[in-house]
């Protein structure tokens, strides 16, 4: 992934360093092609954003509610019989997401399994060149650890729940097992462990398995520590428990003496106002009798208030050599410890490895070549390798920062794989040269947009990967056009040369050359308080006008060159991770009407362009507001969606008003108790809504009386953070947080019969591009009854006074879909109308010629 030079990020880079107080990321967008992308910190981390909105008004997501919602959907939400279209991947595959674990087949290095932070499990049979998802439709897509039975590679164990702190995901749901190489999976226990740091199988008795349960990040629980099974996962016993805030982050065993087991215990707890990533109860434990008894390894740091996360590995060929990559509580690197006598004595061997990271609770991995004890990898922000037993380390060609996984093929350790925030990198020559997978569709999107004039041109804001874009609609040619974590992004519907993008906490940028170069879009924007995902929206009639919400609503009339606040502080106050605007929308029918919502449960409206604002919370639950969406033809009609889980009698996450918020009506119908993240109103049938939820995309055709899942083939249960609809083509894109972008074509309004079968119907589409200069296209559908009564079809252009300019079509036509081109080269700029007449059917649409 190469970065284009962008002047905005010189400013952002230094500004963010000054204001940073906890770890998030921003990439330096001025990095030259092929160079490593540097990271700095940002002041609201992603896990707080993800967790807080779903937990609000409490401190944590109610235990088990997400799983209940998934089960509810399985049993109670039917699929939409009227829309038989299938979801297809829109991409990218070449810009991958975060990898948490990797396992390679014991005898065939071509077969690889990888687990993703929020994208499930994928399998490759050609050593990372292509992948197939093998964990769809499970109750979690967050993977912590994988292990293959060395005696029977058809058996795979999966510990769910990513163990890396500081990123957005739901907790895992326990241990899973496959006995057919990943084709099917069965839940085998440990449902309350939240996250699994590692799983190991005894090579001499493969019925004996150890699982390192990290436990909940945000609550004290006793379901953590080392768990052991002696019957292939059928039953589990808690072998090692230290305390209710001390989890097991890693476990290894001596392959020559499998009764000897080491466990890395980590004191870890994060609350709204409390962060603990280490402490005196963090320690290395040893059992010499297969986990029956454990003792603290006294030659290793213990009773040390500064000891943080530890990653372990043991050399198969020489199990006397064990490495431990350690961190301090504050996130800095402590260094790598080494023993050469099986753990009796330990030496802090190298303090320089992985010391570029300042949030090591998130990026920490240590792996030694199974055949060569001198070849060891240490991963933090970057991946480093030692070929002299840890004496010195040098960086190796990791394409992306934040390292989480390394795996050597047991049958040929020259085959080695790295997993990081950018996906998979692999080598077949022991790490001398590296290739990039670039085929895994596991991008974690926050939001996206479609180019109105060229609908194959789409772009989205992605966690850890900036704002990424394809201009052709291909899956494998996406490029990174704007740095940092990517969020809301827009393309001007009248002039696609104008592109807008954003990174965390409101760092907006605008481009006037199609995204090749970005300028700062924050001039005049009050960023004193701003959301991790700062919302902004384009006026639907005047594209140079945009509105942005921080803790005030701001307006620009010159395409982000400068902003002016048009509201007071709209939050209830400013406590930890609260007090910002999360959503804003402006009416198409009356641009003086603007609605917005906040993370602390406020909804506001102005009917006079911002001069006066009215709080319209009455009747709404006290929850984080995810979206306000205004009816395309009626400014008084607005929808509000909410995050969180049931905290009141309604349990509703979607409401409708027809009187500017004076009264709200729940339209939850048969929806589950789960966050709703976005609302799209179908502009051609406004009783039809599409919503993105934390489970899938759902739809209603009767304003919420009944809801169904939309289309077929949605790959798994994964949060959908944003939806984008392209009216001329009916393309709807779901921007998922872990399975990239998915696309479906919505049939035209009259192309669906009463029995659910598609027929050809009357429809006149909005021209595109619109506005246009000087050429535009007009598409229309003709009804099937034309077979029995041929009628002349007319498509005519009129000026604003009603004078006919031209007949584009005047002939008898068979049923079908048609598209014609209109050239306005000889006409002045202005509003024009086009009218379709077919039998008794007529429809007129408006278009704008701008020269």
How distant, in Å, are the alpha carbons of 171, 238, 275, 331, 414 from that of 219?
Answer: 12, 19, 12, 20, 42
Q: pLDDT tens, 483-534?
A: 999 999 999 999 999 999 999 999 999 999 999 999 999 999 999 999 999 9
Contact predicate 127/142, CB 8 Å: no
Tell me, rounded to whole angstroms, the distance of Cα 479 from its chain centroid. 17
For the chain, the 3-state helix, strand and coil shares in percent, each to the nearest 5, are 5, 40, 55
Contact predicate 357/380, CB 8 Å: yes
Same fold yes or no, 97-436 and 445-746: yes
Contact predicate 808/796, CB 8 Å: yes
Q: What is the pLDDT, as a whole number, of residue 760?
A: 45
Q: For the chain, give me the number of helices (H) and strands (E)?
A: 3, 66
DSSP H/E element including 554:
strand 553-556
Give the Cβ contact number of residue 289 at 10 Å: 10
Q: Which residues of 578-606 are buried (b: 16+ CB within 10 A; e: fewer)?
A: bbbbbbbbbbbeebebbbbbbbbbbbbbb
- How many angstroms separate the CA atoms of 782 and 570, rounded? 49
Q: What is the pLDDT, as a whole number, of residue 99?
A: 96
Give the Cβ contact number of residue 107 at 10 Å: 12
How distant, in Å, are the alpha carbons of 50, 246, 303, 337, 749 from that of 212?
Answer: 25, 11, 21, 20, 53
Beta strand extents in 569-659 (DSSP E only): 581-586, 594-598, 603-606, 614-615, 625-630, 638-642, 654-657
- How many angstroms separate the CA atoms of 765 and 684, rounded? 9
How distant, in Å, are the alpha carbons of 461, 655, 656, 684, 742 from that of 723?
Answer: 12, 18, 19, 17, 10
- How many angstroms separate the CA atoms of 48 and 274, rounded? 12
Place of tokens 């990218």: 92
What would the 3-class secondary structure string for 96-147 be? CCCEEEEEECCCCCCCEEEEECCCCEEEECCCCCCCEECCCCCCCCCEEEEE
Strand partners, 744: 732
- How many angstroms separate the CA atoms of 604 and 425, rounded? 47
DSSP H/E element including 70:
helix 65-76
- How many angstroms separate the CA atoms of 578 and 22, rounded? 16
Place of tokens 């009916």: 730
Tell me, rounded to whole angstroms, the distance of Cα 29 from its chain centroid. 21
DSSP H/E element including 8:
helix 8-19
What would the 3-class secondary structure string for 737-764 be? ECCCEEEEECCCHHHECCCCCECCCCEE
Question: Closest Cα partner for 568 from 612, 534, 537?
Answer: 612
Contact predicate 779/761, CB 8 Å: no
Token pair belonging to 612:
């006066």
- How many angstroms separate the CA atoms of 444 and 719, rounded? 9
- Burial of residue 237 (CB within 10 Å: 0-12, 13-18, 19+) is exposed
Find out whether the peptide bond into 282 is cis, omega within 30 degrees of 0.
no
Q: Which architecture characterizes domain 763-849 according to CATH?
A: Sandwich (2.60)
Contact predicate 727/76, CB 8 Å: no
Q: What is the pLDDT, as a whole number, of residue 32?
A: 27
In the predicted model, residues of the chain with pLDDT beneath 70 are: 1-47, 81-82, 167, 272, 649, 749-761, 783-791, 840
445-746 has CATH 3.40.50.970 classification: no
Helix (H, G, I), strand (E, B) or coil at 222: coil
- How many angstroms separate the CA atoms of 402 and 404, rounded? 7
- How many angstroms separate the CA atoms of 151 and 146, rounded? 15
Helix (H, G, I), strand (E, B) or coil at 826: coil
Token pair belonging to 371:
């055949």
- Burial of residue 778 (CB within 10 Å: 0-12, 13-18, 19+) is buried
Q: What is the pLDDT, as a whole number, of residue 42?
A: 35
Token pair belonging to 603:
């909804």
Got the DSSP string for 332-385? -EEEEEEESSTTSS-EEEESSTTTT-S-TTTS-EEEE-TT-TT-EEEESSSEEE
Helix (H, G, I), strand (E, B) or coil at 80: coil
- How many angstroms separate the CA atoms of 141 and 145, rounded? 12
Q: What is the pLDDT, as a whole number, of residue 597?
A: 98
Domain ranges across the chain: 8-55, 97-436, 445-746, 763-849
Strand partners, 594: 586, 606
Token pair belonging to 579:
């007090």
Place of tokens 């933090």: 380
- How many angstroms separate the CA atoms of 800 and 555, rounded? 30
Class of domain 97-436: mainly beta
**Dmax (CA) of the chain:** 94
Instruction: Report the side by side order of strands in the sheet with 333-339.
Output: 307-314, 322-328, 333-339, 347-350
Give the Cβ contact number of residue 78 at 10 Å: 11
Question: Closest Cα partner for 508 from 2, 11, 3?
Answer: 11
Got the DSSP string for 228-271? EESSTTSS-EEEE--BTTEEEEEEEEETTEEEEEEEEEEEEEEE
What is the four-CA torsion angle of 472, 477, 482, 486, rounded to 10 degrees? 90
- How many angstroms separate the CA atoms of 347 and 326, rounded? 12
* φ, ψ (nearest 5 deg) of residue 810: -155, 85
Contact predicate 502/519, CB 8 Å: no
What would the 3-class secondary structure string for 605-630 be? EECCCCCCCEECCCCCCCCCEEEEEE
- How many angstroms separate the CA atoms of 790 and 794, rounded? 13
């Amino acid at each position: 992934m190469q970065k284009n030079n962008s002047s905005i990020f010189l400013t952002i880079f230094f500004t963010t360093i000054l204001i940073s107080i906890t770890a998030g990321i921003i990439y330096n967008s001025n990095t030259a092609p092929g160079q490593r992308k540097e990271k700095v910190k940002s002041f609201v981390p992603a896990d707080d954003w993800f967790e807080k909105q779903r937990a609000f008004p409490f401190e944590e997501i109610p235990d088990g509610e997400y799983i209940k919602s998934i089960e509810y959907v399985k049993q109670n939400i039917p699929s939409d019989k009227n829309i038989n279209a299938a979801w297809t991947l829109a991409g990218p595959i070449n810009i991958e997401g975060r990898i948490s674990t990797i396992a390679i087949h014991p005898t065939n290095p071509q077969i690889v399994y990888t687990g993703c932070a929020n994208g499930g499990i994928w399998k490759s049979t050609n050593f990372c060149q292509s992948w197939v998802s093998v964990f769809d439709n499970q109750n979690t897509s967050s993977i912590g650890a994988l292990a293959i039975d060395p005696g029977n590679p058809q058996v795979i164990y999966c510990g769910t729940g990513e163990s890396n702190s500081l990123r957005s995901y739901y907790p895992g749901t326990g241990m899973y097992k496959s006995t057919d190489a990943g084709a099917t999976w069965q839940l085998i226990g440990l449902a309350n462990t939240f996250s699994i740091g590692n799983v190991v199988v005894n090579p001499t008795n493969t019925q004996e398995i150890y699982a390192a349960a990290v436990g909940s990040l945000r609550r004290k629980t006793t379901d953590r520590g080392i768990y052991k099974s002696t019957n292939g996962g059928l039953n589990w016993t808690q072998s090692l428990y230290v305390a209710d805030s001390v989890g097991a982050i890693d476990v290894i065993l001596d392959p020559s003496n499998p009764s000897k087991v080491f466990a890395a215990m980590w004191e870890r707890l994060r609350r709204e106002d409390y962060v603990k990533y280490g402490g005196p109860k963090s320690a290395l434990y040893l059992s010499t009798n297969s986990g029956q008894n454990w003792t603290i390894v006294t030659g290793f740091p213990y009773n040390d208030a500064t000891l943080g996360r530890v990653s372990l590995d043991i050399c198969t060929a020489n199990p006397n050599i064990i490495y431990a990559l350690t961190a301090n509580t504050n996130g800095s690197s402590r260094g790598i410890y080494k023993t050469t006598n099986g753990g009796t004595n330990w030496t802090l061997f190298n303090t320089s490895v992985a010391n570029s990271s300042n949030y090591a609770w998130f990026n920490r991995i240590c792996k030694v070549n199974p055949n060569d004890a001198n070849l060891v990898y240490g991963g933090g922000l970057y991946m480093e390798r030692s070929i002299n037993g840890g004496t010195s380390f040098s960086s190796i060609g990791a394409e992306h920062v934040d390292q989480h996984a390394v795996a050597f093929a047991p049958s040929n350790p020259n085959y080695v794989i790295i997993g990081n925030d950018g996906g998979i990198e692999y080598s077949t020559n022991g790490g001398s040269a590296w290739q990039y997978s670039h085929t895994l569709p596991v991008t974690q999107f926050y939001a996206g947009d479609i180019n109105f004039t060229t609908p194959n041109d789409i772009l989205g804001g992605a966690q850890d990967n900036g704002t990424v874009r394809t201009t052709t609609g291909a899956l494998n040619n996406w490029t990174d056009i704007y740095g940092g974590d990517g969020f809301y992004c827009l393309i001007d519907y009248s002039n696609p040369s104008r592109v807008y993008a954003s990174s965390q906490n409101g760092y907006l940028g605008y481009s006037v050359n199609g995204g090749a170069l970005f300028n700062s879009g924050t001039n005049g924007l009050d960023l004193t308080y701003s959301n991790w995902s700062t919302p902004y929206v384009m006026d639907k009639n005047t594209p140079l006008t945009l509105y942005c919400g921080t803790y005030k609503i701001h307006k620009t009339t010159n395409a982000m060159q400068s902003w002016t606040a048009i509201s007071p502080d709209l939050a209830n106050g400013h406590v930890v991770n609260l007090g910002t605007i999360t959503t804003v929308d402006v009416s198409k029918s009356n641009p003086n009407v603007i609605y917005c919502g906040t993370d602390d449960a406020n909804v506001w409206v102005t009917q006079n362009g911002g001069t006066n604002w009215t709080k319209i919370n009455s009747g709404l639950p006290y929850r984080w507001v995810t979206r306000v969406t205004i009816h395309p033809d009626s400014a008084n009609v607005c929808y509000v969606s909410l995050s969180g889980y049931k905290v009141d009698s309604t349990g509703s996450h979607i409401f409708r008003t027809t009187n500017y918020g004076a009264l709200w009506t729940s339209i939850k119908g048969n929806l589950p108790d789960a966050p709703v993240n976005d609302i799209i109103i179908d502009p051609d049938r406004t009783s039809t809504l599409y919503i993105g939820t934390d489970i899938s995309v759902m739809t209603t055709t009767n304003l919420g009386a009944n809801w169904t899942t939309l289309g077929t083939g949605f790959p798994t249960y994964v949060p959908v953070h944003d939806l984008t609809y392209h009216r001329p083509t009916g393309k709807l894109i779901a921007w998922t947080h872990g399975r990239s972008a998915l696309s479906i074509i919505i049939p035209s309004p009259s192309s669906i019969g009463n029995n659910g079968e598609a027929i050809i119907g009357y429809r006149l589409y909005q021209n595109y591009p619109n506005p246009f200069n000087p050429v535009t296209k007009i598409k229309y559908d003709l009804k099937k009854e034309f077979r029995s009564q041929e009628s002349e079809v007319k498509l005519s252009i009129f000026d604003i006074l009603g004078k006919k300019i031209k007949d584009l079509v005047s002939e008898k036509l068979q049923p079908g879909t048609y598209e014609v081109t209109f050239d306005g080269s000889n006409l002045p700029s202005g509003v024009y109308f086009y009218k379709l007449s077919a039998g008794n059917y007529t429809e007129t649409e408006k278009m704008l010629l701008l020269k």
